[in-house]
Amino acid sequence: MSKPSTRVRLGDAAFALFDERGYEQTTIDDIAERAGVGRTTFFRNYRSKEEVIFPDHDRLLALIRDRLATSNHSTALIAVSDAVRLVLLHYIDEGDIARRRYALTSKVPALRDREIASVARYQRLFREFIADWMGDPTESASLRAELMAASVAAAHNHVLRRWLRGESADPVTEVDDAMREVLRLFPAPAERHDSPDGGATIVAFKTSVDLDTLLPSLKRLLEDGSAR
């Protein structure tokens, strides 16, 4: 059986000490000593005591960017769902460490605030990607991208918390179902099919309103649509 890496040993030592003494009462020197390494070795692996607790968000965000970058306009929402699943799978792979982190952040306000800030980084990444996919610079589109990104983050976190509390036997299926619910709330923007020669647009429908009354309203509607 291979020996755990120094980084893993430090993480195990930190969580064991947090359980025994409490987060605030545990020092970096305590963690290094429990792991059987020096203070310098600790800082080669982690920049702070807080960093021992949280996953490598920079690496996870890079994985998400890579997945989103492989998509095109028609597969963008599939890429968003895949990216959400990547994050969930990372936590599942962590197993007991993820659950111990959840218990710890629930009790320590400073850690909870840091976790909230981390979630905001993921939400911002999704918002920027979705806004670019929508290709609409208007304020209403910006708000829609913000709402959609918030819904993506909320769906992931809802399923993750259920799994962390032991309430979900199949979190991957749950997160896929949750993402389908999110995407149903935000249908893809309609593709534009502008006539290259500026030809006429034909509209056919049935109405009881006489044509002379209707034509001015139709003209305004078409002008508004072409101005977008």
Average confidence (pLDDT) over 159-188: 94
Residue 8's pLDDT is 87
Give yes or no for residue 143 having a pLDDT over 80. Answer: yes
Residue 1's pLDDT is 56
Residue 194's pLDDT is 42
Give yes or no for residue 150 having a pLDDT over 80. Answer: yes
Residue 114's pLDDT is 92
pTM listed for this prediction = 0.77
- Could you read off the pLDDT of 178-217 as tens digits, one per residue? 999 999 988 766 654 444 454 444 444 445 545 555 455 5
Report for 92-96, 113-117, 173-177: range of highest mean pLDDT: 173-177
More reliable by pLDDT, 3 or 29: 29
Percent of the chain exceeding pLDDT 90 equals 73
Average confidence (pLDDT) over 20-24: 93
Average confidence (pLDDT) over 16-28: 94
Residue 55's pLDDT is 83
Average confidence (pLDDT) over 97-121: 92
- Could you read off the pLDDT of 54-98 as tens digits, one per residue? 988 999 999 999 999 999 999 999 999 999 999 999 999 999 989
Rounded to 10 degrees, the C-alpha dihedral 169/175/180/182 comes to 130
Note whether 110 and 159 are within 8 A (CB): no
Note whether 32 and 10 are within 8 A (CB): yes
Provide the H-helix boundaries in the chain: 6-21, 28-35, 39-45, 49-53, 57-69, 76-94, 96-107, 109-134, 139-164, 171-185, 211-227
Average confidence (pLDDT) over 115-144: 94
Q: Which amino acid is at 127?
A: R
Average pLDDT of the chain to the nearest whole number = 86
Note whether 123 and 130 are within 8 A (CB): no
Residue 193's pLDDT is 43
Half-sphere exposure of 216 (CA within 13 A, CB side): 2
